């Protein structure tokens, strides 16, 4: 299963209907700062059930709607439609989902053109295995947020994330994922995620070992090393959540060339069974793309999709020449 198409109309900076297509594997979105790249990820998250305005980068409900410009009036309706492909085969069936909101506060939900209640729509997301997509998002600048929590807050975060009792079995599985991902990102290092007692309350601690350094709390490491540990920890949680696709917004800026190389290998491996939709400015990440999408802004600030490529060596060489 993978996300094949996103259509945005009246959502945030997208005044007119805009279509962004994807293939399975790794889809990379590029563009200058402020052109609306992250609004595409917000649209996907909103369409699969996210309603927390803060997580959608909104201060108020009206921020979901295009606010108007010299060229286009304010949108009274915001709509995002997703086409989900239920297999890799060209003849595999599709499911079309859509969420639509009106400024006065009413919302409508559709599956394959048939209107559903909100409860029916969320049930459909669960049946399709999409209920955890909103939990597998890493926002720009937030890759280290899980790492920076104290052990007690980290434990509570996991409890809320999985909506279940946090026991040794769950932590053992997450720790196994963490060790696996960290071993790929830091081949000569290691780490562990484990339960601790924090004065009567349960906590979740993390310790790591980097080459030439002893075992320590990752908050004491360098910026790039923290990012590596955080990425491994987030992906370990994602792996246990079993979402079919991850939404990653500039997760790699603090990494040097070596860690970028290891990260590329990990993302390639993940993309064999998960779809990754990534926003980046970095050429090393663009090289991973199966599909490349360019978002631009018009003079009045409205966003549009300028190009879409099935990435190959010819396109990559042309991209390198023009950048």
Q: What is the pLDDT of residues 283-306, one digit of tens each?
A: 878 888 899 999 999 999 999 998
What is the reported pTM? 0.91
**Bridge partners of residue 307, in order along the sequence:** 294
Scored b (16 or more CB within 10 A) or e, 229-263 reads: bbbbbbbbbbbbeebbbbbbbbbbebbeeebbebb
Give the range among 48-57, 151-160, 311-320 with minimum mean pLDDT. 311-320
pLDDT above 50: residue 52: yes
Question: pLDDT digit string (tens) for 131-146?
Answer: 999 999 998 778 888 8
Q: How far apart are CA 155 and CA 110, in angstroms?
A: 36
Instruction: Please tell me the predicted confidence (pLDDT) of residue 314.
Output: 53
Q: How confident is the model at residue 227 (pLDDT cuts 50, 70, 90)?
A: confident
Q: So what's the pLDDT on residue 218?
A: 79
Domains identified in the chain and CATH numbers:
1-136+244-323 (3.40.50.300), 144-242 (3.40.50.300)
């Amino acid at each position: 299963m993978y996300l094949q198409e996103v259509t945005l109309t009246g959502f945030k900076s997208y005044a007119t209907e805009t279509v962004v297509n994807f293939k399975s594997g790794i889809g990379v979105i590029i563009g200058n700062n402020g052109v609306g790249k992250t609004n595409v990820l917000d649209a996907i998250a909103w369409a699969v059930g996210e309603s927390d305005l803060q997580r959608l980068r909104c201060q108020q409900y009206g921020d979901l709607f295009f606010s108007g410009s010299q060229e286009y009036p304010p949108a009274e309706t915001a709509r995002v439609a997703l086409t989900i492909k239920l297999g890799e085969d060209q003849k595999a069936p599709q499911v079309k989902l859509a969420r639509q909101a009106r400024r006065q506060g009413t919302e409508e939900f559709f599956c394959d053109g048939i209107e559903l209640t909100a409860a029916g729509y969320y049930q459909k997301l669960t049946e399709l295995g999409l209920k955890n997509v909103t939990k597998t998002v890493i926002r720009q600048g937030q890759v280290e947020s899980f790492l920076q929590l104290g052990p007690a807050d980290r434990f509570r975060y996991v409890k809320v994330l999985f909506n279940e009792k946090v026991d040794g079995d769950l932590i053992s599985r997450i720790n196994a994922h963490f060790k696996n991902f960290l071993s790929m990102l830091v081949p000569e290092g290691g780490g562990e995620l484990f339960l601790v007692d924090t004065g009567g309350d349960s906590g979740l601690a993390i310790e790591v070992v980097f080459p030439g350094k002893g075992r320590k709390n990752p908050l004491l490491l360098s910026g790039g090393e923290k990012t590596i540990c955080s990425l491994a920890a987030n992906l370990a949680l994602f792996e246990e959540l079993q979402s079919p696709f991850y939404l990653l917004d500039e997760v790699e800026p603090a990494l040097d060339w070596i860690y970028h190389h290891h990260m590329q290998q990990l993302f390639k491996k993940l993309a064999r069974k998960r779809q990754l939709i990534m926003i980046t400015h970095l050429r090393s990440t663009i090289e991973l793309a199966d599909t490349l999408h360019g978002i631009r802004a018009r003079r009045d600030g409205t966003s549009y999709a300028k190009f879409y490529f099935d990435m190959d060596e010819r396109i990559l060489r042309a991209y390198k020449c023009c950048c």
